[in-house]
Amino acid sequence: MEKIKEYKYNLLGIMILSSIILTLPVFFGNQYLAINNDTIAHLKVFEAIKIDNANFLYLGQRITGYELVWLEKVTGISLSELFMWFNFLALVIGGIVTMIVIEKITKSKVAGILSMFVITFGTGAIMHLFWSGTIFNIIEMIILFPITLLAIYLVSIKRNKRNIRNILFLSLSIVALLIYHPTFGIQTASTQQLAFAAIRSPITEQIIEEQKELVMNIPFVIIGMIGGANLTTLILSSWIIFKKKEVLADSKIVLAIGSLIAIGIGILAFSGITAFSSRITMNFAIIVNLITCLLAGLVLKNRQDNKVIKPIIISLLGIGIIPNLVSWIGKY
């Protein structure tokens, strides 16, 4: 009972997020069974499992495919409906994982709860990827990546012989991050063939030029993928933290690694050297918003009695959520 009281606001946040997201499949499920080419392509691979003729692109697709085929046999529910639920539930779980990680690292319950909505509705890149059917990319970015950051944090705060469990947790997190989806690594022959084909393709130069035009549209990236309010939060939180030197010692390594990854992905995206710059740009936006939540959490924790800064940070995070949230509710 004490635990329920302690986490009552977290549970309330989870209930609100779940009700908003899951209303669509519950009441309007038939509209979202196969709404884009990526979803249709995944379903074709899953159907091919039944005749042992599946050509998997990566481990995440393989694991999910076998699970859904088994569930179809057990429940009698179609693969398309099961995969639809997989998509929507993954978005909910991503929000919950983000909340747990942000709260654990920053020690701020408010930031944790808000981050659940910031990373889902407050991040234009997530919404774009979700409606494009790239759910495995989303799982990589808002479930596996935050878990890896949490593992890094746990290892950094316990530097003793009892840290073996956390080191093992970190090792498994990194392995999962690398092999689940090509976001951070290429795993299968099929994925490699796609990547190398893109590099050698006669039309690659044309694609790269098109991607350059897309990713160099700075307002699109900042306002659309990251969010103007979130970017303001990032700048303000960074200024407050580094001016007052309020970064917790055990949070520095997480912020440093997250920032380095964001910088690396950002350079890769904006350089236009790859035909996949638009996707990389969205991953960059997601990481930037994760860092924004971390920084905002540190400010809210260390300046929680400040009657000016705290309302401003919370308001900015809330404002960043509104546009995509209104758009989502508009689909009801």
pLDDT along the chain (332 residues), means of 10: 80 95 88 78 90 84 92 93 94 96 91 94 88 91 93 78 80 88 57 42 43 49 60 72 61 69 66 60 83 86 72 86 86 74
Residue 194: per-residue pLDDT: 43
Distances (CA, A) of 245 to 233, 237, 299, 310: 17, 11, 11, 17
Q: What does the alpha-carbon distance between residue 85 and residue 106 come to, in Å, rounded to a whole number?
A: 32
Of 186, 178, 289, 183, nearest to 231 (Cα)?
Answer: 289
Contacts within 8 Å (CB) and 24+ apart, 55-58: 55/190, 56/188, 56/190, 57/182, 57/188, 57/190, 57/191, 57/194, 58/136, 58/179, 58/180, 58/181, 58/182, 58/187, 58/188, 58/191
Q: What does the alpha-carbon distance between residue 244 and residue 177 come to, in Å, rounded to a whole number?
A: 34
**Amino acid at position 235, single letter:** I
Which residues have C-beta within 8 Å of that of residue 54, sequence separation ≥ 6?
A: 45, 46, 48, 62, 65
Cα angle vertex 180, ends 31, 145, to 5°? Answer: 90
Tokens 């920084």 appear where? 295
For residue 37, the tally of other CB atoms under 10 A from its CB is 10
Q: What is the pTM of this model?
A: 0.84
Asked if residues 287 and 126 have their Cβ atoms less than 8 Å apart, the reply is no
The token pair that represents 214 in the structure block: 């897309």
Residue 203: per-residue pLDDT: 40
Tokens 């790269």 appear where? 208
**Amino acid at position 172, single letter:** L
The token pair that represents 253 in the structure block: 């390594």
Distances (CA, A) of 217 to 102, 171, 221, 289: 30, 38, 7, 19
The token pair that represents 138 in the structure block: 């989303």
Helix extents (H) in 29-144:
37-49, 59-75, 79-106, 109-118, 124-131, 135-139
Maximum Cα–Cα distance for the chain, whole Å? 64
Residue 144: per-residue pLDDT: 94
Residue 225: per-residue pLDDT: 58
Q: Using DSSP, state whether 216 is helix, strand or coil.
A: coil
Domain boundary assignment for the chain:
2-329
For residue 193, the tally of other CB atoms under 10 A from its CB is 12
**Amino acid at position 181, single letter:** H
Q: What does the alpha-carbon distance between residue 98 and residue 116 come to, in Å, rounded to a whole number?
A: 6
